[in-house]
A and B are shown apart, each in its own frame.
Chain A
Amino acid sequence: MREIRQLVKVNSLLRRLFVIVPQALAVVTALIATAFVLYLMGRNPWEIYYIMLFGSFGDIYSLGATLTQATPIIFTGLGFMVAFRSGLFNVGLEGQLYLGAFAAAYVGFTLTFLPPVLHIITAIFAGALVGGLWALIAIIPKIKTGAHEVITGLMLTYVAILLTSYLVNYPFKASGWAPYSPFIAESAQLPRILPPTQLSFGWILAIIFAGFVHVLLNRTTIGYEIRVVGINKEAAVSAGININRTMILAFTLSGCMSGMGGAIEVLGVHRRFIDLFSPGYGWDGIAVGLLGNLNPIGAIFAALLLGALRAGGSSVQMITGLPLDIVTMVQGIIILFIAAPMLYRSFIKKIGENRYDD
């Protein structure tokens, strides 16, 4: 009897492990495909991947860069995940991130009378609030007229990027030629935890929030409602769940996460708002959410991987001159492979379960 129980335990562990098989395969295939492209271009893919690996984990500087890059995309990834779990696509993460970042910077350089910790909390809260409100604008039309949240989210992203660009080029431009806002007060700066790298306390906040989202989704009524609405709307109705309210809540929370990511990037890394500062952290959130198998803890690992790609990609750019955009390409290929779970279905038919089955 005990042996059987043990066997069952091992089996369930294996099942859990096999859940990440499609994700792992997607990453490996994407790297192979990119290596092939590099080879066709006459570059040595091994050399480039070696530089990339060293540039992401090779020494303390690289490690700091990897973790710094991973911080905002944990937040956007969590944001994508919360919305996706309720059956919605938040692809306006990039815009919410920009506005959240600006709101945090604004609090950072105006409300200078606040004491240190309170100032940080206020700034992060402002970022979350503005990000959430921007997401709210994208989701309300969905409820009212059925306008797809993907399209409103995307349009609002363009507006948000242009709007922050206007704010930092005109009313809130610091002296000098570059489109920067003034620096935030010292009381609003998140402490750096691995000098001389830019890694800030924001990294720890990101881990804490991943845990928070995990609890929210799996241990609370709201999380339960979000998951039920995502899986089966009819079941949700008969369970007495208010679908519209739940969707609005999940989507707004998603925007809050993204806005918070932007806020923490400003408070921890740049210490001011820089025009067009994001290299696409919002888009990374989509990849992180999917690669993390829609699991908040998975998001941390996925963000580490993508952060490592970005940090390593910067080294590659410095050493070989290959543009950093190669990282975005790899991400795109990863998403394409994750999009098609049937590709791997024959591998994992029996042992793995798949979340994208509808």
Chain B
Amino acid sequence: MMIEINFLALSAATLRMATPIAFAGLGGLMSERVGVMNIALEGMMMMGTLCSAYISYVSGNPWIALIVTALVGAVLGGLHAVLCIRFRGLQIVSGFGINIFTFGFTPFVSAIVWGSRGTSERVVGLPTLTYLGLKETPIIDEILGSQSPLMILLIFAVILIHIALYKTSFGLRIRAIGANPKAALSSGIHIRKYQYTCVILSGIFASLGGAFLVLSVANHYSTGMTAGRGFIGLVAMILGKWKPMNVFGASILLGFGDALQISLQGSGIPVQMIQTIPYLLTIFVLIGIVGKIVAPTGYKPHAED
């Protein structure tokens, strides 16, 4: 059996599939940096897919869809933050509450709006970079030309978060909260304000990852299309040791599994076997490469009480 792989296409696909994982990874990073574990990334991403598809379907404008999706993500992030911080809920339980709710909510709405709980009709997607004016430079265009403007947004976000975390007093405080919430509190930092901000940002990033899948990859919504990428994003965060640049790099590694999976489809290998590639890669990365895992925080958002 001969499997032909076009390396340029594979690199482009890797970059493309790394984007949603990186969005989720950044979301996880923001949240865990202030001590809130966000296992709800998957649900937020799923909500992002539904919301962006619906708004783009109704309005015909993917940019408006993007903005509304970010708002919905912020609401879900806010919900998680309120449950975990204000009401001192168990973070994993709250996260799974949101996940399970969206497992039900997304096909429910899809069935009502499009008459099928599986997929939506075709919606208007975002233009690719070629359309946005990337010049006809052969190799670069082949890799970058098919990318989404969301990827540019992602790269900006990575750089911005890096600068914010390491060069500003805002980031210094966030790192202080992550390292030792009690010390941060006693030095007069308003912990809750930072925690809410970061968890809400986390929801926005995760939902943008979902919007990316709809508006830049599939151009339609389908139930379960996130396929665990929110969870894989958490692994990217762990592999990247909770640092934005490294998380982006880790996402590219994990995105490669996804890209390989997509490019191997139709090669004669049973599709179920191919689809396990990203998950197996994630497991191996998690237990093989990472080594001893040390989180920046004890996962206790209310240690100040």
Q: Do A and B bind each other?
A: yes
Given contacts A323-B117, A343-B87, contact A155 B108 (CB under 8 A): no
Do the beta carbons of B90 and A332 come within 8 Å of each other?
no
Q: In the complex the two chains form, is A166's CB within 8 Å of B273's CB?
A: yes
- Flag if A326 contacts B108 (CB, 8 Å): yes
Answer yes or no: A194 CB below 8 A from chain B CBs.
Answer: no
Contact among A147, A158, A290, A330 for B286, CB-based, below 8 A: A147
Chain B residues, CB < 8 A from A340: 83, 87-89, 94
Report the minimal beta-carbon distance from B78 to chain A, rounded to whole angstroms.
13
Pairs of residues from A and B, 4 with the lowest C-beta to C-beta distance, nearest first: A332-B101, A328-B104, A336-B97, A340-B87
* Residues B293 and A146 in contact, CB atoms below 8 Å apart: yes
Would A335 and B231 count as touching, CB distance under 8 A? no
B293 CB contacts on chain A under 8 angstroms: 145-148
Chain A to chain B contacts (Cβ below 8 Å), 14 pairs = A146-B292, A152-B286, A156-B279, A162-B275, A287-B100, A323-B108, A323-B112, A325-B104, A325-B105, A332-B99, A332-B102, A339-B93, A342-B88, A356-B93
Residues of chain B within 8 A of A147, CB atoms compared: 238, 286-287, 290, 293
Indicate whether A333 reaches chain B with its CB closer than 8 angstroms. yes
Interface residues of B (CB under 8 A from A): 39, 79, 83, 86-90, 92-94, 96-105, 107-108, 111-112, 117, 227-228, 231-232, 234-235, 238, 270, 272-273, 275-276, 279-280, 282-283, 286-287, 290-294
B210 to chain A, nearest CB (A): 17
Q: Report chain A residues within 8 Å CB of B234.
A: 151
A158-B100 CB under 8 A given contacts A152-B286, A323-B111, A323-B117:
no
Report the minimum CB–CB distance from B25 to chain A (whole Å). Answer: 12
Which residues of A260-288 have CB atoms within 8 Å of chain B's CB atoms? Answer: 280, 283, 286-287
- How far is the CB of A267 from the nearest CB of chain B, in Å? 24
Chain A residues with CB under 8 Å of B291's CB are 145
Residue from A159, A283, A325, A329 in contact with B117 in the complex, judged by beta carbons closer than 8 Å: A325
Interface check A216, CB cutoff 8 A:
no
Cβ distance A343 to chain B, nearest Cβ, rounded Å: 5
**Extra A-B contacts (7), CB below 8 Å, given A158-B227, A328-B104, A336-B97:** A148-B238, A166-B270, A322-B108, A325-B108, A327-B104, A336-B83, A342-B89
CB atoms of B276 and A335 under 8 A apart = no
Q: Is the CB of A332 within 8 A of B286?
A: no
Contact B272 A169 (CB under 8 A): yes
Assuming A144-B287, A336-B94, A340-B83, is B100 touching A170 (CB within 8 A)? no
Whether B93 contacts A335 by the Cβ 8 Å rule is yes
Per DSSP, chain A at the interface is helix
* Residues of chain A contacted by B283 (CB below 8 angstroms): 141, 152, 155-156, 159
Residues of B close to A323: CB separation below 8 A: 107-108, 111-112, 117
CB interface residues, A 325-358, toward B, < 8 Å: 325-343, 356
Contact A163 B287 (CB under 8 A): no
A146-B293, A151-B286, A339-B83 known; A332-B272 Cβ under 8 A: no
Alpha-carbon gap, A104 to B282, bound state (A): 29
B101 and A333 contacting across the interface, CB-CB below 8 Å? yes
B79 nearest in chain A by CB position: A336
Chain B residue at minimum C-beta to C-beta distance from A332: B101
Are B275 and A150 neighbours in the complex by a CB distance under 8 Å?
no
Chain A residues 165-204 with CB under 8 Å of chain B are 165-166, 169-170
* A336 partner residues in chain B, CB cutoff 8 A: 79, 83, 94, 97-98, 101
B114, chain A: closest CB distance, angstroms: 12
Q: How far is the CB of A117 from chain B (nearest CB, A)?
A: 35
How many angstroms from the CA of A334 to the CA of B101 in the assembled complex?
9
Is A41 within 8 A of B112, CB to CB?
Answer: yes
Shortest distance between the CB of A358 and any CB in chain B (Å): 8
Assess whether A125 is interfacial by the CB under 8 Å rule: no
Contact string against B for A residues 33-45, beta-carbon threshold 8 Å, 1 for contact and 0 otherwise: 0000000010000
User: What's the nearest-Cβ distance from chain B to residue A298, in Å?
Assistant: 16
Q: Which A residues are CB-close (under 8 A) to B83? A: 336, 339-340
Residue A154 is within 8 A (CB to CB) of chain B in the complex: yes
**A228 at interface by CB-CB < 8 Å:** no
What residues on B are CB-neighbors of A332 within 8 Å?
97-105
> What's the least CB distance linking A286 to chain B, in Å?
6
Cβ contacts under 8 Å, A330 to chain B: 104
Q: How far is the CA of A148 from the CA of B231 in the complex (A)?
A: 11
Most chain A beta-carbon contacts within 10 A, residue among B90, B93, B100, B238: B100
Give the distance in Å from the alpha carbon of A163 to the alpha carbon of B104 in the complex.
Answer: 24
C-beta contact mask, A15-38 vs B, less than 8 Å → 1, else 0?
000000000000000000000000
State in angstroms the CA–CA spacing of A341 and B231 once bound together: 26
Instruction: Confirm or deny: A97 has a beta carbon within 8 angstroms of a beta carbon on chain B.
Output: no
**B168 CB to nearest A CB, Å:** 30
Does A109 lie at the interface of the complex (its beta carbon under 8 Å from any beta carbon of B)?
no
- Give chain B residues whose Cβ lies under 8 Å from the Cβ of A335: 93, 96-97, 100-101
Report chain B residues within 8 Å CB of A341: 87-89
